[in-house]
Structure 1
Amino acid sequence: MSAAEHPELSKVDSAIAIPAKEEKAPDKGKHRRTSSQTEGVYNIKDLEEKKIELKLPIETQKTGWKLNTPPSTIEDRDILKLHLVNPPVKKIDLHFPLGLEVTARNMKGVTVKDALDAIYKQFKKKADDEMDMPYLAGFEWDKEESWTSLIVHQTKNGPKPVTSKKSKKKDKEEA
């Protein structure tokens, strides 16, 4: 049998009938997911361009947290869930007066815990006597100095120990 006897099967036709290796479309799993970009969380540089001012929750000013202890040691753990600044940002630099700078990051908005974790990472190996001011006094945003960072304030003394009613009763009984 030749190609002339069966016109539908020619060498050209048979080459077409064999599926050629198709060019694969680029794998879709390689691009960044947009779901990780939470709505309402900004890039701090965008806020600077739009001149949107940052606001700090007042709770961050009275943590009494010691810089070389884990953030979980804070008495009021609820403040750890708060956003460090409003509107929430993906990352922010924390600037210490002596020049140290750490960056807190969270794609869903930097929380107080993220900031304290970043600070703790720098101070966890320091002994108490190595630090002049071991306690966090709070954060300050000064748009004149730097729109994209917060100034970290420290203090020598931690919070005054809170005496519970039970310990006061024991003191009275002993007296």
Structure 2
Amino acid sequence: MAAEVTEANLSKVDSAIDDAPASPSESKPRHRRTSSTVSGVFNILDLGKSVNGKLTVTSEKEGVDLKIAPETQKLNWKLNTSPSTVDDKEVLSKLLTTPPIKKIDLQFPLGLEVTARNLKGVTIKDALDAIHKQFKKKADDELDKPYLAGFEWDREECYTRFIVHQKATGEAPASSGKKKKGKKDEEA
């Protein structure tokens, strides 16, 4: 009788007795939490067409066209300064591409490549943050072309990468059209 009681007690406490399946193949597939995925945001690899393991796009119908936000060409942003220094702060929250994507590689002309990521869709700020991370320790005189001119997408060369264009000088901030009154204007 004591042996029966001991077995019953052990089965309740024994960690070796488990309802888990014996092998991983018998277990149920685990699903990603829905809070970490957003509907309507794509992986760029899913937008193109894969042929023989390589992502290629041979015609307009097979791959989705990405449209880069035109605001990126008007930012007048210096690569080694924080993205928060951009004049128009509202632009930073806009999506970098249409349709929204989870990540994009940004390639510079000399071969440097950075990746901007955001599971809710890469924004202009995400792209600027990725670029700034590489250039924040560079002095102004170390950069030949310190200003962002915009991004280019060449679907034939590489579907999953944007080319970063730079320029040597930034434009002067656009005036609001109102003339400020100086002391001479006030006296007259």
Query: TM-score normalised by the shorter chain: which range applies?
Result: 0.7 to 0.9
TM-score (norm 1): 0.82
Alignment root-mean-square deviation, CA = 2.6
Q: 1:144 to 1:172 in 2, by over 3 A?
A: farther
- Residue aligning to 1:81: 93
Aligned counterpart, 2:53: none
Partner of 1:146: 158
Match of 2:9 among 18, 23, 40: 18
In the TM superposition, what is the alpha-carbon distance from 1:168 to its structure 2 partner?
A: 3.3
Q: Give the number of the structure whose residues are more often strand, by fraction.
A: 2
The residue number in structure 2 matching 1:4 is none
Amino acid at match of 2:38: T
Tell me by how many angstroms 1:58 deviates.
1.2
Fraction of identical pairs, as percent: 60
- Residues 34-65 of structure 1: CA distance to partner in whole angstroms, max 9, x if unpaired? 32011111111111125111111111111111
Matched letter for residue 36 of structure 2:
S
* Aligned length in residues: 163
> CA 1:171 to 1:117, structure 2 compared with 1: closer, same or farther past 3 Å?
farther
Counterpart-to-counterpart distance in 2, 1:90 and 1:158? 30
Aligned equivalent of 1:39: 39
**Off by >4 Å, runs of 4+ in structure 1:** 164-167
Unaligned runs of 5+ in 1: 1-8
- Whose Rg is larger? 1
Q: Which residue of 2 aligns with 1:100?
A: 112
